[in-house]
Homo-oligomer: A and B are copies of this chain.
């Protein structure tokens, strides 16, 4: 059994980690921390865990994290980078669900996240945990930077096209829509049901923190700096991201075959038949990314539709997938849930 600790368990990625890990056949939950809720049974905050998770929140300073095999950080940005060095030094592996180790260019990171990086020397070592690209390095990693939710959907959607050099990477468009759980379990007016319900809007068009993360990945595969317009939207659903991706084809290709071949060995990436439209509920609660590729009217614009559950493949599920690889477990262990529909 792998001994697992979770730092910061009061948010949605925290409760989702707990949901997945408590059902994982090879995991022993050792500790979950919260500075604010010390002593409160986890299942008091999250009643879905009643009878399943007996742990109480413990103070980060007192949690036996160094006795864990792996520690997940389900914290706001800027926390993992403060604690990771000490844990790594103690031989504990670290998976950060926040953004601290996702951007290789520390100056870029500091600009977008508005703080100095606490351990820039660890950044080069951190492996970006997009399994479908970095599976091998993840297997060797001590420190994994779990991808962001939008970046997971957008990168998996663009990946085959960019790798194959089929699109004008100078002018990519990612129009992405997210459910409100992506905003986290924070008391903010704009995320109230009375505000975000029965409503739809774009936000952060001028610049969203996931833009440099996505650009970094796409640029690496393209071999040159890509030009990406990324527009996120808030949609009145709880879980789910739908990315609609647009690119201009630079040469002919069998797009359906391209996607099917690229993801042939990937259990968690499901390429739908030609003409299909994936829906977010088809992955609700599960670690899948479902993708369809279209070429409307036979023109030179390719449209990719990619859906994930932002809390699973876009966060906690992918984190568990990374853990499985890091510890030599079957990649699907603890992740074989059938999506909940309706």
CB pair A237 B200 closer than 8 Å? yes
A202 within 8 A of B: yes
A270 and B50 contact, Cβ closer than 8 Å, known pairs A205-B305, A299-B227: yes
Residues of B within 8 A of A240 (CB): 198-200
Chain A: number of interface residues, binned into ranges: 35 or more
A313 within 8 A of B: no
Which residues of A from 223 to 250 have beta carbons under 8 Å from B?
227, 229-231, 233, 235-240, 242, 244, 246, 248
CB pair A202 B296 closer than 8 Å? no
A185 and B181 contact, Cβ closer than 8 Å, known pairs A303-B205, A336-B23, A340-B340: no
The winner among A19, A281, A285 for most chain B CB atoms within 10 A is A281
| Identical subunits present | 4
A147 within 8 A of B: no
Partner of A233 from B177, B181, B205 at Cβ < 8 Å: B177
A284 within 8 A of B: yes
CB pair B171 A248 closer than 8 Å? yes
Inter-chain CA distance A290–B47, complex, in Å, is: 10
CB pair A242 B200 closer than 8 Å? yes
CB pair B15 A341 closer than 8 Å? yes
A246 and B246 contact, Cβ closer than 8 Å, known pairs A193-B236, A279-B47: yes
A244 and B202 contact, Cβ closer than 8 Å, known pairs A194-B191, A301-B171: yes
CB pair A303 B201 closer than 8 Å? no
A177 and B235 contact, Cβ closer than 8 Å, known pairs A22-B338, A277-B202: yes
A175 within 8 A of B: yes
Residues of B within 8 A of A227 (CB): 299, 301
Contact bitstring A95-111, B, C-beta under 8 A = 1, else 0: 00000000000000000
Partner of A238 from B171, B177, B198, B242 at Cβ < 8 Å: B198
Partner of A192 from B175, B193, B203, B338 at Cβ < 8 Å: B193
Residues of B within 8 A of A296 (CB): 205-207, 229-231
Inter-chain CA distance A340–B242, complex, in Å, is: 20
A338 and B52 contact, Cβ closer than 8 Å, known pairs A207-B297, A237-B198, A296-B229: yes
Residues of B within 8 A of A270 (CB): 50-51
CB pair A177 B200 closer than 8 Å? yes
CB pair A231 B244 closer than 8 Å? yes
CB pair B244 A282 closer than 8 Å? no
Residues of B within 8 A of A175 (CB): 175, 244, 246
Which residues of A from 280 to 331 have beta carbons under 8 Å from B?
280-286, 290, 294, 296-297, 299-301, 303, 305, 307, 311
The 10 closest A-B pairs by CB, nearest first: A201-B279, A48-B339, A47-B282, A48-B341, A187-B187, A175-B175, A199-B281, A193-B193, A181-B194, A194-B342
25 inter-chain pairs at a CB distance below 8 angstroms, sorted by A residue, are: A22-B338, A47-B282, A48-B339, A48-B340, A171-B248, A173-B246, A173-B301, A177-B200, A181-B194, A186-B189, A194-B342, A198-B198, A199-B237, A199-B280, A201-B277, A201-B280, A205-B277, A206-B275, A206-B296, A229-B299, A231-B244, A235-B235, A238-B342, A284-B340, A285-B340
